[in-house]
Amino acid sequence: MNETTSTQPPIVVAGTGGSGTRVVRQVLSSAGVFMGDHLNRSGDAMNFEPWLDRFVDPVLDHTRAADYPADGLPAKLRGEALAELRKAIAAYRAQLPNPQTPWGWKNPRALFLLPLIAEAEPEMRFVQVVRDGRDMALSENQRQVQKHFKSLFGQQPPEHLATASLQMWEKANLQALRWAERELGERHLVIRFEGICMEPERVILFLLESLGIEADSRTLAIAAACIRLPGNIGRWRSADHETRDMFRRLATDGLEAFGYELDADDPGITAAEERFAGRPLIKLREQQERIRELEQQLQEVYGSTSWRLTAPLRVLKRLLFE
């Protein structure tokens, strides 16, 4: 289809590498958002990879930041970047099934070029996916650090890769947050990876409703089925005392800004989720405990020989679990 016939602004999903953008892309795709046909194994829209490869470092070399005015870039760099981006968007939009289809793309490194994307698509929506930077510092996925740390900071990354990772996590995410809150307002959402894993239906409902996407029970169930709770959430707690102290020193501002408790035992949802999800979030563990209690009671009922007497409780179970 022709680019000019689309009536929907794009949804851009981005975050520092390994933050869980793949999960959010899967959720949006399952809810009917066109998130691209030409993808790599991580679900990145390959239409935009050449653009990112060409322009992330030159832009960061000039700005040393993720929060900058696009019109402050050198005229030649800005002009070439916008021309190539608009060309990539036009080709991408041509794949849309119809003008009413909600659409977007997922590329973690778009985090560094948001001002340019906003200039090309002024009504863009931005979903910033964040995961605890301490967990990410201990991840094997450090490609963004290896590719772009020097351009963002103006120096080679420190030998201790976890240090470099956490420094980059804090700087990139805080600056993207500041830019998006100022420039996009309500068209900017923060989704914490821990939150969507531990309370998928609640966080997915917030995500879809905020984006104006219909979120009936079937859509929520299909989207929630994309979520798997990984076993490495909170792995930073297994680090030695010296490493944990280093994490605190390096990233206190970022951790607090995104609602991560500095010494909490629970790596999941905190009260700070209310800022991002717009509603109180009930602890998943409390829900699970209540479900276990009800299941035990129902099992005792099922053991009864009087099936007729237990019929009302069978109805109750259907109401609770269907």
Q: For residue 228, what pLDDT band results from cuts at 50, 70 and 90?
A: confident
Q: Which residue has the tokens 């099992």?
A: 299
Global pTM?
Answer: 0.82
Higher local confidence (pLDDT), 17 or 76: 76
Write down the pLDDT at residue 216: 86
Q: Which residue has the tokens 């991408």?
A: 92
When pLDDT is averaged across residues 48-73 and rounded to a whole number, the result is 98
When pLDDT is averaged across residues 68-84 and rounded to a whole number, the result is 98
Q: Range with the lowest mean pLDDT among 103-107, 259-263, 269-273?
A: 269-273
Mean residue pLDDT of the chain comes to 86
When pLDDT is averaged across residues 37-46 and rounded to a whole number, the result is 96
For the chain, what percent of residues have pLDDT higher than 70?
80
Higher local confidence (pLDDT), 43 or 298: 43
When pLDDT is averaged across residues 279-304 and rounded to a whole number, the result is 54
Write down the pLDDT at residue 281: 40
Q: For residue 21, what pLDDT band results from cuts at 50, 70 and 90?
A: very high
How many residues does this entry show for the chain? 322
Per DSSP, the three-state class of 130 is strand
Higher local confidence (pLDDT), 140 or 185: 185
Domain-wise residue ranges, the chain: 3-281, 286-321
| Res. 285: pLDDT tops 90 | no
| Pick from 19, 193, 221, 226: nearest CA to 108 | 19
Write down the pLDDT at residue 15: 97
Q: Which residue has the tokens 């700005």?
A: 63
| Res. 108: pLDDT tops 70 | yes
> For residue range 234-258, what is the model confidence (pLDDT) as tens digits?
899 989 999 999 999 999 999 999 9
SS3 content of the chain, % helix, strand, coil (to 5): 60, 5, 35
Write the DSSP string, 74-128: -HHHHHHHHHHHHHHHHHHHTT-SSTTS-BEEE-GGGGGSHHHHHHHSTT-EEEE
Alpha-carbon gap, residue 158 to 164, rounded angstroms? 6
Write down the pLDDT at residue 92: 96
Write down the pLDDT at residue 311: 57
Q: For residue 284, what pLDDT band results from cuts at 50, 70 and 90?
A: very low
| Res. 271: pLDDT tops 50 | no
Domain 3-281 class? alpha beta
When pLDDT is averaged across residues 185-208 and rounded to a whole number, the result is 94
Write down the pLDDT at residue 39: 96
Q: Range with the lowest mean pLDDT among 3-7, 224-228, 246-250?
A: 3-7
